[in-house]
Structure 1
Amino acid sequence: MFRTALRNVLAHKARLLMTILAVMLGVAFVSGTLVFTSTLSNATQASSQEGYDNVDVAIQPKKSEPDSGAPGAAPRLDQKLLDAAGKVPGAASATGTVSGFTAVGDKNGKLIGDGFTTRGGNYFPAKDGKDARYPMRDGVAPKGPDQFALDAHTADKAGYKVGDTVRISVDGPVREQKLTGIFTTDDGMVVAGGSLALFDTPTAQKLFAAPGEFSEIDVKAAPGTSQTALKAAVDKVLPEDGAETTTGKQLADEEAAFIAKSMDGMRNALLAFAGIALFVGVFIIANTFTMLVAQRTKELALLRAVGASRRQVTRSVLIEAFVVGAVAAVAGLAAGIGIGAGLRALMSSTGATVPDGPLVVSLSTVLASLLVGIVVTVLAAWLPGRRAAKIPPVAAMSSVHATATSKSLVVRNTIGALFAGAGAAGVLVATGMPDGKAMMGLGAILLLIGVFILTPLLSRPLIALATPVLRAFGISGKLARQNAVRNPRRTAATASALMVGLLLITGMTVVAGSAQKGIDKMATDALKADYIVSMASRTPLSPDVAKTLDGLDDVTAVSPLRNSPSRIGGDTEYLTGVNGKDFGKLTRLDFTKGSLGELRGGRAVVDDTTAKEKGWQPGSRFPVTFEDGKQGTLTVSGVYQGNDMLRGIILDNATLAPHQKQITDMQVMVKTKDGATDATKDALATALGENPAIAIADKADVSDNIAKMFSLMLNMLYGLLAMAVIVAVLGVINTLAMSVFERSQEIGMLRAIGLDRRGIKRMVRLESLVISLFGGVLGIGLGVFFGWAVGELISAQMATYELVLPWGRMGVFLALAAVVGVLAALWPARRAARLNMLAAIKTE
């Protein structure tokens, strides 16, 4: 039976080619994803670990316990501790470090490293006047508040040289610094495309901490001293509370684990789309083996007649599938390695700096690729093989096609209806639940299974709708319709592959478009402010920015938004500080109870979710422990509907500021006399020093940013789902090609009685078009339903969510299905038209 299976594979290699390609594409996606993420993760980890070469023990502020004291920031480390750490036995040197956000503008005023980490730190010279962490390539180390050094990658990218004056920003105001040095570094964040600016230690402490304080102290071990021994020695000089030590190896391992974990999201997302492509490929594999088995019914019956058991017949089909899967998996693995290398090169070509390192093809990647390809193919071929083994030899010898019995069709349709009904009910029930994600997921799976089972039943009435159009093509159109419904199971399996891809594309488009409209409406409804001013990096903003804006003649109202941790009832809650006098002029909150009133003193407004959790009503008084540890009492004056822009406990900045250790703003809301105009926006930008780190956005900018975000997300998803559509195209081609082979005698007869080659081509093309449009209609219809259902869950969290049906894009998707049908039919139609009619008529 093994030899028989191998001969069958070789005999039908042309017909199995599309199946191999479908599996190969899915496996290539899987292996390419694993190779790319493993390579990127390995190179980034190696690069980051190099940054810890000069760190044997790190002293860091102790992280405060959730229920201990004040909720403020961890204490800093002082010069006294630095000196003590450098003198412990086994210590060669001790380095104090401080760091924070630092935006560096290029010569055109644009932020360098947008989207990456842009940081600043201190240059800490040793006794020889050099900092071993940052070797100077050009120039000298910075000295004084007006000088700084820049990493070589950023300097080269921006075209900066020693002596240039560079515009930078730490927390809002623009600083013009003289570039005195350009250094090299193995810092993983810089290698990944970020920027690093260095100041002398006093300047850095003033910018990022406080005079004489450090955020970390790194101790270098003397030769012959282990990290463990050094850590034990350093522990003895630590203050009783406020600091803790970690070895350099532990820090490197933690960062490696963090990098590996950060890759998980990308890896899982890409593998999910690979899984979709493989899922679509299952339909092709099952369809191919079903047709091959049907065409070899007499051959299999003969094997049964000469003594082969049912198990042996099934095994022979599975062996064929194993061979096909193994070939496809090996080819897919090779293609995936190329894809992994190509993705790394693509990232580099788009300006992203990818750390150097070897291409990583791990044993787990090889095994996973081979396992996926073989298992998917064998599982998809199991049902056709089992079905072939169940056909009685006598019945099979008398008929080439073993048609399904009416009983099997009734059972199939009944099961499909039960699954579809249960799934639809589950989805509908989930839309009314507070947290219906699990129920909706289960319902969606059951509904999809039900639709897959019912697709043969649905094919007849839906394809019948195309009858009036097909009549316009004469006998070719009539034959195309009859061929499409002749074998409903085959038509259904072919259409289902395309249906899955269009279902996902349509559903995601509906959800993304609706969410964008909801967020856009939220920004319009919740804000009266003309502009939102914030750091481009979403880091804290200097309060000087709000003061500058408040002093402008064209500005009528200003309110900075500040966040400060507090403890309320044993829980950590963030307080939002605003300018109580102007807050009502800048926002439009929907109050369910009470009102905004005059937000001053101990008065506060809370969102409805927090009020419900705490049991608060207007007039409720509650104790609060502020950031500095001092206690106070706030009174609820109103309860408003929270949204993604404003939520939580809001009070006057005059009440909050005295308790903040460091006053910074998250953003500033601004209202002007003339409203949002280009001239006003330019005037605000000029007043803020044309700062590349500050973003000034009006409502249109907010909407545009949202639109860009959703467009980018959708385009990425479309690109990833294109793999599933390509696999579906292969499925249509494969089905039509094998159908042409199966109907060779019939096509020969049609040619003999007068249907010309053009008519044959038209017949095959129309059949392909009908099948593709059938899959497209099902996919778009289910996509709209699932998009609506997911939107109902989102609307429970987003009051402004509004269902938007993208009619234009859905028309494009349907046209795409038609194009798929036309393109997929080109080769099968040409093959059918070139059949020799006499040879075809004699075909058995």
Structure 2
Amino acid sequence: MWRVTLRNAVAHPARLALTLLAVALGIMFVTGTLVLTDTSGRALDAQFRTAAAGTDLTVRRATAFDDAMGVEVERDPLPAATLERVRAVPGVADAQPAARGQALLTAGGRTLVPSGASLLRSWTPEPFNAFAVRTGRPPLTAAEVVLDAATAREYHVALGDTVTVQAASTAALRVVGLAWFGDRPGLPDTTVALVTLPAAQRLLGLGDGVPEIAVAVAEGATVAQVRQRLAERLGADAEVVTGQDVAAASAAAAKGQVGYLRAMLLALAGAALLVGGFLIANTFAVVVGQRTRELAVLRAAGATGRQLLASVLGEAALIGAAASAAGIGLGVAAAAGLRALAGRVGVPLPDGDLVLLPRTVAAAAVIGVVITVAAAVAPARRAARIAPVEAMREAMLEARTGPATNRARALGGALVTLAGAAALGVVLAGRGSLGLLGAGALVTVGGLTLLGPAIAPVLARVTGRPLDLAGVPGRLARQSAARAPRRTAATAMALALGLTLIGFVAVVGTSVRSAIRQSYGETITADYVIESSRNEMLGGLPPDVQHHVAALDEVAVASRLRYGHWKDGTMTSALTAVDPATLPRVTSLHLVAGRLDALAGGGVILAERVARGRGLTVGDTLPMTFARTGEQRLPVAGLLRDADAQALSTDYIIGLDTYARLYAEDVDASVFVRLADGADPAAARRAIEAALAGTPTAQLRDQAEAVAGRTRGVDEILGVTTALLLFTVAIALLGITNTLALSIVERTREIGLLRAIGMSRTQLRWMVRGEAVLVAVLAVVIGVALGLGFGAGAVTALGSSTPLAVEVPFGRLALIVAVATVAGLVAGLLPARRAARLDVLDAISRA
């Protein structure tokens, strides 16, 4: 039987290739995702291990938590006297102060800003410094700087050039050296400037304090001993951690966004594998039907049903193994492309040699084989039930299913589909969650899969009416699709799943964009918004930007916003800090309780739905944990309309004075500007842009530009996700090609008879193409309907926590319909060509 299995697997190379490709594309997603994230994780681990290689211990200010949402918190500097206290501890061989922070670098009128951040660090001697100067020398005075070699090469900066460094203060520094980070010319996506400690303290506004102290342990002492002694000497205000712990925590924070990317890509890979599973199941169902007589002969010759079952599943396992191998190879190649896509959605990943772990190979192989074998189980069971008497029949498996079985299948499918529709109805009524929607979606897809053969003939006859305009070929195409309901339904469902996901993403993305645009336009009344051109959520604008703009005669008020993170139990949340005195002049806020000026007393304003969910009202207190100060109980000063809170980007709002007490960061995220009465808009814009000339990354935007900046991220994610989902559509189109090609074999005699009674090759080709288009149209009808329903349900469920309204992207959906229809026509080209090339006499002679 194994020889029979191998012969059947390789007997039809075209069918084998299409089936292999369907599985391989899904495995490519899985492998590419794991290779990409493993590569990034290893690069980040190596990067931070290198940075801490010469440091046994690090002393820094204690905080309640180290990072939030993938961003390390900023700590207050240690007092200058801490350094001598550390050096006096027994077992400390050496201790060096170090300072680091964010800065803006410009040279020759250009901003030295790659896709990541600009890092300003103080130069420390070996063994504490991971940077090695390979060209020039280290900085010796406060007027000198060393750049990483990668940035210098990219922006053509040479020794002796002047670089302007802007942080809390600004200085023009002369480049005296170019440094490498380990064996690399720099850090990934980061510009690094190395200066003397006094220069770093002045530029970062640290006074004589230092953010951290690097410690080397003396011979004869252990790291654990010295760590305990330092902790006892310095007290609870300082934190003493090992170099390995610092490296691991920094790498974990940096890898936070990589985890989100992995989850998204693996979800898309799952969708591709699901569509591929439909294709495999349909292919094996048709093949088993065509081999009914052959399988019956094997039964008559003594083969058992178990042997036939093993033969079909063995063939599926062989295909799955081969597809997994191909998918692994394609995935490694695709990792570079996925890295570029990650950059498009704001997750720049470090470069490095691709990492293919044994775990990735094993996972891809197991997934490929399991998916393929699982999809072939039902056709294999049908093969095992074939009786020897079937050798005398010509009927295919498609026609052999009994009426009772069809009725039971249709009834079960109808009941399951109604259950899924009921769950969707509950969600659309505003009484369900995303979890219920997900369960309803799975149930609905399962129900439609069962119900498909019962409704496919009706849908084919209805949606195929326009094909009658093509004459006889069109009518025959419609009848052919209706005559094989199981094959038509399975092929259409595979494509419908891909279109459902695209429609779902389009509805949700468009609704989110519309909500952002509407809430921002209604709430923000400022004439202009100043923001960082890099769109940093946590800042990017030096505080003097607001002062310079507010001092202009053309400006009536300039109100700043800042963002921060806090711990809400085990979860991390964000908050917005505002100036309650100036914010009402640049916004139109609607408080349903309390007063905005009460923020000056140290309170917090909550979005109305948050207060309702927590059971809080004005006068109650909210426990909030901050990295710098630990847990604080802030009084609830007011409740804000949900749409207005969305415009300010968070559900928690505090005053700037409270922010200064709770956070070490001193950068603004946005500055809202209202022009003075009678000011000429054009002249005012020129004056503001002139005031911003010293801050190249500060960008002046009007209302439309500000809204576009906020929705750009949604657009990029929507575009990248849609592009990736098109792979699932491509897999489904392979299914149409494969199924039609197999049906040509099944209908060889029928095609010969049509040719014998006068049908031309051209008419025959159009008949097959028409059937492909009809299957695509069926998939469009089902997919768009499901995508709209599930998308509307998701928006409704999200609306319970974020103000959202369902927005249907009719233009995008029309494009999806057009592309899918044309793609269906293309998918039918090869089968149509094969049918037209059949020899008439040979085809008629087929039994």
1:44 lines up with 2:33 in the alignment: no
TM-score between both structures, scaled by the size of structure 1 = 0.89
Unaligned regions of 5+ residues in structure 1, if any? 67-71
How far apart are 1:137 and its partner, in Å? 3.5
In the alignment, the residues of structure 2 paired with residue 468 and residue 27 of structure 1 have an alpha-carbon distance, to the nearest angstrom, of 39
In the alignment, the residues of structure 2 paired with residue 554 and residue 816 of structure 1 have an alpha-carbon distance, to the nearest angstrom, of 52
In the alignment, the residues of structure 1 paired with residue 106 and residue 380 of structure 2 have an alpha-carbon distance, to the nearest angstrom, of 66
Alpha carbons of structure 1 residues 624 and 416: separation in structure 2 relative to 1, 3 Å: closer
Alpha carbons of structure 1 residues 40 and 178: separation in structure 2 relative to 1, 3 Å: same
Q: 1:98 aligns to what?
A: 99
Whether the aligned pair in 1 keeps the contact of 2:467 and 2:475 (CA below 8 Å) is: yes
How far apart are 1:89 and its partner, in Å? 4.7
In the alignment, the residues of structure 1 paired with residue 210 and residue 623 of structure 2 have an alpha-carbon distance, to the nearest angstrom, of 30
Q: 2:160 aligns to what?
A: 163
1:78 lines up with 2:74 in the alignment: no
How far apart are 1:746 and its partner, in Å? 0.8
Alpha carbons of structure 1 residues 175 and 572: separation in structure 2 relative to 1, 3 Å: same
| Paired residue secondary structure (2:234) | coil
What is the aligned counterpart of 2:238 among 230, 239, 243? Answer: 243
Alpha carbons of structure 1 residues 53 and 691: separation in structure 2 relative to 1, 3 Å: same
In the alignment, the residues of structure 1 paired with residue 234 and residue 781 of structure 2 have an alpha-carbon distance, to the nearest angstrom, of 71
Counterpart AA for 2:277: V
1:564-583 correspondence runs (5 A): 578-583=578-583
Whether the aligned pair in 1 keeps the contact of 2:510 and 2:809 (CA below 8 Å) is: yes
| Paired residue secondary structure (1:553) | coil
Whether the aligned pair in 2 keeps the contact of 1:617 and 1:639 (CA below 8 Å) is: no
Q: 1:302 aligns to what?
A: 297
Alpha carbons of structure 1 residues 8 and 648: separation in structure 2 relative to 1, 3 Å: closer
Q: Deviations over 1:640-670 (max 9, x none)?
A: 4452233556576578868987765443221
Alpha carbons of structure 1 residues 247 and 528: separation in structure 2 relative to 1, 3 Å: same
What is the aligned counterpart of 1:689 among 670, 689, 693? Answer: 693
In the alignment, the residues of structure 1 paired with residue 132 and residue 36 of structure 2 have an alpha-carbon distance, to the nearest angstrom, of 31
In the alignment, the residues of structure 1 paired with residue 546 and residue 557 of structure 2 have an alpha-carbon distance, to the nearest angstrom, of 10
In the alignment, the residues of structure 2 paired with residue 565 and residue 308 of structure 1 have an alpha-carbon distance, to the nearest angstrom, of 68
| Paired residue secondary structure (2:146) | strand
How far apart are 1:821 and its partner, in Å? 1.4
Whether the aligned pair in 2 keeps the contact of 1:516 and 1:707 (CA below 8 Å) is: yes
How far apart are 1:419 and its partner, in Å? 1.2
What is the aligned counterpart of 1:412 among 386, 409, 412? Answer: 409
Q: Deviations over 1:92-144 (max 9, x none)?
A: 42111121111223545345124x13221212357xxx974433344444455
| Paired residue secondary structure (1:465) | helix
Q: Identify the range of structure 1 (249-258 vs 776-785) with the bigger mean alpha-carbon deviation.
A: 249-258
How far apart are 1:55 and its partner, in Å? 0.9
In the alignment, the residues of structure 1 paired with residue 184 and residue 265 of structure 2 have an alpha-carbon distance, to the nearest angstrom, of 24
| Paired residue secondary structure (1:450) | helix
How far apart are 1:470 and its partner, in Å? 1.8
| Paired residue secondary structure (1:695) | strand
1:379 lines up with 2:382 in the alignment: no
| Paired residue secondary structure (1:212) | coil
1:362 lines up with 2:362 in the alignment: no
In the alignment, the residues of structure 2 paired with residue 90 and residue 99 of structure 1 have an alpha-carbon distance, to the nearest angstrom, of 26
How far apart are 1:842 and its partner, in Å? 0.9
How far apart are 1:217 and its partner, in Å? 1.0
Q: 2:790 aligns to what?
A: 786
Q: 2:14 aligns to what?
A: 14
1:461 lines up with 2:458 in the alignment: yes
Q: 1:485 aligns to what?
A: 482
1:427 lines up with 2:402 in the alignment: no
Whether the aligned pair in 1 keeps the contact of 2:121 and 2:192 (CA below 8 Å) is: yes
Q: 2:53 aligns to what?
A: 53
In the alignment, the residues of structure 2 paired with residue 345 and residue 425 of structure 1 have an alpha-carbon distance, to the nearest angstrom, of 41
Q: 2:834 aligns to what?
A: 831
Alpha carbons of structure 1 residues 677 and 161: separation in structure 2 relative to 1, 3 Å: farther
Q: 2:496 aligns to what?
A: 499
Q: Deviations over 1:566-613 (max 9, x none)?
A: 9999x9999865444432221111232466589866898553245446
Q: 2:388 aligns to what?
A: 393
TM-score between both structures, scaled by the size of structure 2 = 0.89
What is the aligned counterpart of 1:757 among 754, 757, 761? Answer: 761
1:150 lines up with 2:130 in the alignment: no
Q: 2:586 aligns to what?
A: 586
Whether the aligned pair in 2 keeps the contact of 1:62 and 1:242 (CA below 8 Å) is: yes
How far apart are 1:234 and its partner, in Å? 4.2
In the alignment, the residues of structure 2 paired with residue 251 and residue 494 of structure 1 have an alpha-carbon distance, to the nearest angstrom, of 53
What is the aligned counterpart of 2:247 among 237, 248, 252? Answer: 252
Whether the aligned pair in 1 keeps the contact of 2:524 and 2:588 (CA below 8 Å) is: yes
What is the aligned counterpart of 1:179 among 175, 180, 183? Answer: 175
Alpha carbons of structure 1 residues 753 and 259: separation in structure 2 relative to 1, 3 Å: same
Q: 2:69 aligns to what?
A: none
Whether the aligned pair in 2 keeps the contact of 1:628 and 1:661 (CA below 8 Å) is: no
Q: Deviations over 1:57-76 (max 9, x none)?
A: 2122222489xxxxx98653
Alpha carbons of structure 1 residues 633 and 92: separation in structure 2 relative to 1, 3 Å: closer
How far apart are 1:720 and its partner, in Å? 1.2
Q: Identify the range of structure 1 (135-144 vs 631-640) with the bigger mean alpha-carbon deviation.
A: 631-640
What is the aligned counterpart of 2:202 among 198, 201, 206? Answer: 206
How far apart are 1:156 and its partner, in Å? 1.8
Unaligned regions of 5+ residues in structure 2, if any? 67-72
Alpha carbons of structure 1 residues 717 and 234: separation in structure 2 relative to 1, 3 Å: same
| Paired residue secondary structure (1:318) | helix
Identity among equivalent positions (%) equals: 34
What is the aligned counterpart of 1:643 among 628, 642, 645? Answer: 645
Whether the aligned pair in 2 keeps the contact of 1:529 and 1:586 (CA below 8 Å) is: yes
1:438-457 correspondence runs (5 A): 438-457=435-454
How far apart are 1:759 and its partner, in Å? 1.1
Alpha carbons of structure 1 residues 90 and 260: separation in structure 2 relative to 1, 3 Å: same
Q: Deviations over 1:391-448 (max 9, x none)?
A: 3332553233242211111111111111111111112213445771211111111111
Q: 2:545 aligns to what?
A: 545
| Paired residue secondary structure (1:63) | coil
In the alignment, the residues of structure 2 paired with residue 245 and residue 489 of structure 1 have an alpha-carbon distance, to the nearest angstrom, of 67
How far apart are 1:175 and its partner, in Å? 4.6
Whether the aligned pair in 2 keeps the contact of 1:430 and 1:439 (CA below 8 Å) is: yes
In the alignment, the residues of structure 2 paired with residue 816 and residue 516 of structure 1 have an alpha-carbon distance, to the nearest angstrom, of 24
How far apart are 1:176 and its partner, in Å? 3.7
1:708 lines up with 2:721 in the alignment: no
How far apart are 1:215 and its partner, in Å? 1.4
In the alignment, the residues of structure 2 paired with residue 629 and residue 788 of structure 1 have an alpha-carbon distance, to the nearest angstrom, of 41
In the alignment, the residues of structure 2 paired with residue 824 and residue 732 of structure 1 have an alpha-carbon distance, to the nearest angstrom, of 6
Counterpart AA for 1:47: Q
| Paired residue secondary structure (2:193) | strand
Q: Identify the range of structure 1 (245-254 vs 544-553) with the bigger mean alpha-carbon deviation.
A: 245-254
Instruction: Count the aligned residue pairs.
Output: 830
In the alignment, the residues of structure 1 paired with residue 314 and residue 473 of structure 2 have an alpha-carbon distance, to the nearest angstrom, of 39
Instruction: Calculate the aligned-residue CA RMSD, in Å.
Output: 3.7
Whether the aligned pair in 2 keeps the contact of 1:191 and 1:354 (CA below 8 Å) is: no
Q: 1:842 aligns to what?
A: 845
Counterpart AA for 1:241: A
Alpha carbons of structure 1 residues 431 and 107: separation in structure 2 relative to 1, 3 Å: farther
In the alignment, the residues of structure 2 paired with residue 28 and residue 161 of structure 1 have an alpha-carbon distance, to the nearest angstrom, of 43
Alpha carbons of structure 1 residues 284 and 245: separation in structure 2 relative to 1, 3 Å: same
In the alignment, the residues of structure 1 paired with residue 241 and residue 544 of structure 2 have an alpha-carbon distance, to the nearest angstrom, of 37
Whether the aligned pair in 1 keeps the contact of 2:591 and 2:638 (CA below 8 Å) is: no
Alpha carbons of structure 1 residues 209 and 54: separation in structure 2 relative to 1, 3 Å: farther
In the alignment, the residues of structure 1 paired with residue 744 and residue 565 of structure 2 have an alpha-carbon distance, to the nearest angstrom, of 71
1:257-296 correspondence runs (5 A): 257-258=252-253, 262-296=257-291
Q: 1:196 aligns to what?
A: 192
Whether the aligned pair in 2 keeps the contact of 1:113 and 1:194 (CA below 8 Å) is: yes
How far apart are 1:734 and its partner, in Å? 0.6
Alpha carbons of structure 1 residues 470 and 552: separation in structure 2 relative to 1, 3 Å: same
Whether the aligned pair in 2 keeps the contact of 1:285 and 1:377 (CA below 8 Å) is: yes
In the alignment, the residues of structure 2 paired with residue 375 and residue 600 of structure 1 have an alpha-carbon distance, to the nearest angstrom, of 61
In the alignment, the residues of structure 1 paired with residue 815 and residue 564 of structure 2 have an alpha-carbon distance, to the nearest angstrom, of 49
In the alignment, the residues of structure 1 paired with residue 634 and residue 812 of structure 2 have an alpha-carbon distance, to the nearest angstrom, of 55
In the alignment, the residues of structure 2 paired with residue 368 and residue 764 of structure 1 have an alpha-carbon distance, to the nearest angstrom, of 39
